[in-house]
Chains A and B, each alone.
Chain A
Amino acid sequence: MDDKYKFIDFLGLRFNVANDLSALVAAILVFILVFSLSRKITMKPGKAQNVLEWMIDFTDSIVKSAFPDGSGSRFSLYAFVLFLFIFVSNQLGLIFQIKVDGFTYIKSPTTNPIVTMSLALVSLMLAHYYSVKKFGFGTYLSNYARPVSFLLPINLLEEFTNFLTLSLRLYGNIFAGEVLLALIGTVAKSFGLVSFVIAIPVEMIWQGFSVFIGAIQAYVFTTLSMVYISRKMEKE
């Protein structure tokens, strides 16, 4: 899209204000959500605690399906936060977008590949870190030549494709959703009241679908992260 972004250069690093502000808002929303749900922790759970435990059980089941031997419990928190953060990020731009003087300030942070690449990088770094920690550096390197040595280039290539598919899948889905939302918005403005009335139900339908896509993509991203981590932690 033709969105313009404000950039801040600080210590030789470039910050995209829209990405950072949106990510911050998403993080704060996630925190407010779990904080408000966890105020009364009792043995017999209340409504809020039930919701929170249901979410925890959900992400735990993702982790368990990737680590059937139960060794993945240390990644449960990561999966939980990752899922909630991506989910809230995906929905953020559907609910509100803030533009001031043509510059975007708040949107879905996941509509930017840098953000999704950061998240994918976190997951893959965890995978490599725990692989080295478990096998030692030598075995970790030799794992690239398993099960047979001529697969080495394919295995190396796979690391990059994993990274790219993981990050760009999320980015593409959410970005496309928001592009279409913006397009429908443009249509609404094109012929005055008539197109406005027609565009509203279409926009609603697409928003509903985008909520669905956002949830699915959060689930997919979390699941694939766990699968990549678990695959790095086993010898083929």
Chain B
Amino acid sequence: MASLLVLGAGKLALGDMLFILISFILLSLAVKHYAWGPVTKMMDARSEKISGDLDYADQERARADKLGKEREEALKNSRAEAIEIVNKAKDNGDSQKKAIVADAHSEAETVRTRAKQDAEKAKQDAMQDAQNDIANLSLEIASRVISKELNADDQKSLIDSYIKELTVNNETK
């Protein structure tokens, strides 16, 4: 073994060094080409992808937060809107109710006044009828009285009472 290391004593196994060196370099190149290159490339790509995914996740979360806030805001707004709509509807109903009641009142009023007028008219008509009836009646009575034989005194008292009656009748009218 020691003879391998002695310089000058024959030959040093320099060929071995050369062989080892060349085979090592070839091995390195082969490993680099077939395994190291693709794998390290993929590892880099993976780490890049992971960091990219993390960034993307952060962005997405921020976006989701924003969306959530917006939705909450919209919900709040819609609630206020709903309350407003209900209030408006209530106001509308109130005013409509008042209008209907007022209409009903006025209609009732007109109905009542018309009924009053009708009643008045009916009363007048009735009075008219009664007058006519009374006139006819008195005419009849007169004709009947005239057809009867009267003495002067009786006649005189009859006419007086008659006239009196008429004046009373006229006064009451």
Interface size on B, residues (CB 8 A): 33
C-alpha spacing A115/B15, complex, angstroms: 11
A30 CB, min distance to chain B CBs, angstroms: 6
Query: Is A202's beta carbon under 8 Å from chain B?
Result: no
B77 CB, min distance to chain A CBs, angstroms: 46
Chain A interface residue number, banded:
35 or more
Q: Flag A21-46 by CB within 8 Å of B: 1 or 0 each.
A: 00110010011001101100111010
Stretch in contact with the other chain, from A11-19, A132-140, A224-232:
A11-19
Stretch in contact with the other chain, from B19-27, B145-153, B162-170:
B19-27
Q: Which of B15, B18, B27, B34 contacts A27 (CB 8 A)?
A: B27
Cross-chain contact A77 with B32 (CB below 8 angstroms): yes
Cross-chain contact A23 with B31 (CB below 8 angstroms): no
Cross-chain contact A119 with B24 (CB below 8 angstroms): yes
Q: Flag B3-21 by CB within 8 Å of A: 1 or 0 each.
A: 0110000011111111111
Cross-chain contact A14 with B34 (CB below 8 angstroms): no
Q: Which residues of the partner chain A approach B23 to less than 8 Å between Cβ atoms?
A: 20, 23-24, 27
Can you list 28 A-B pairs with a CB-CB distance of less than 8 A?
Answer: A10-B15, A13-B14, A13-B18, A14-B13, A16-B16, A19-B20, A20-B15, A20-B19, A23-B20, A24-B19, A31-B27, A31-B34, A38-B38, A43-B42, A43-B45, A43-B46, A56-B36, A56-B39, A77-B28, A77-B32, A81-B24, A81-B31, A85-B27, A114-B5, A114-B16, A114-B20, A117-B17, A118-B16
Which residues of B are at the interface with A, using a C-beta cutoff of 8 A? 1, 4-5, 11-21, 23-24, 26-28, 30-32, 34-36, 38-40, 42-43, 45-46, 49
Which residues of A are at the interface with B, using a C-beta cutoff of 8 A? 1, 7-10, 13-16, 19-20, 23-24, 27, 30-31, 34-35, 37-38, 41-43, 45, 49, 52-53, 56, 76-78, 80-81, 84-85, 109, 112-115, 117-119, 121-122
